[in-house]
Amino acid sequence: MEKAYKLLAIQEGISNRAAKDLIDRGVVYSGGKKVTVARGEISPKAKFRVEKINKPKIIYQDKKIVAVDKPAHMTTEEVARSYSDFTLLHRLDKETSGVLLFTKDEEFHEEAVKAFKRREVVKEYIAVVQGKCVEPLTIDQPIITIKKGNILFSKVADEGKDAVSHIEPLMLEGKLSKVKVTIETGRTHQIRAHLKSINIPILGDTQYGAKPFKRVMLHAWKIELLGYKFESKEPSEFVRIMNMG
């Protein structure tokens, strides 16, 4: 047996560090299963498949604002380094794809930050969840976030900060549902924690009790603020998984 990242490095002709990074991103598969532990032991005969990570691209820009289509498997900080001339306005989780905003103008940035604080920003997400969601509902439950080492985990708790998510069913196929989630607040892992609390965790979100999948199936579809509206097309894997049921 040999460590997975070392075998991957040999197969791909890359450094051990680069191989470990690919596994940590969640884009490496062997035998049809995702390789999740870079230092895990695996057969020397193992063959790997590495999924391509899309590059971030600009959806829209003017003198004040830049809207970027963030791919899954990249951290917000990595995307920000690609656009270092701009100022980051908010964040998305590593496996969450969709609209990520930057600003060019300091005065506009301050206005945008105030709009977020006043809850004047419309944020809509698309998620594929495990379980059946057949009617709209609102989750108005406070959330507390706990940090252990470098890992953040959020849960519904009375002592937490107020958090409101509106859930609207879009499609039901077998044991999976596609839903639209509109959030009034922006707590850490809010959507993930709220959906877990009603027993429909996001597919691929193993941290919150869901089955493994190629990624956490959460997409920041639309955002509106200060007269702007930006949308990011739903990724192809969202369409494929629902068609499979």
pLDDT tens readout for residues 60-101 = 999 999 999 999 999 999 999 999 999 999 999 999 999 999
Contact 60, 101 (CB under 8 A): no
Among residues 48, 41, 24, 202, the alpha carbon closest in space to that of 130 is found at: 202
Claim to verify: residue 31 and residue 120 sit in the same structural domain: no
Which of 18-32, 178-192, 225-239 is predicted least confidently? Answer: 18-32
Claim to verify: residue 61 and residue 164 sit in the same structural domain: yes
Claim to verify: residue 15 and residue 87 sit in the same structural domain: no
Claim to verify: residue 124 and residue 99 sit in the same structural domain: yes
Domain that holds residue 196: 57-244
Residues belonging to the active site:
93
In this prediction, residue 243 has a pLDDT band, given cuts at 50, 70 and 90, of: confident
Q: What is the mean pLDDT of the chain?
A: 93
CATH value at residue 151: 3.30.2350.10
Share of the chain above pLDDT 70, in %: 99
pLDDT value, residue 103: 98
Claim to verify: residue 131 and residue 231 sit in the same structural domain: yes
Q: What pTM did the predictor assign?
A: 0.88
Range 19-42 average pLDDT: 88
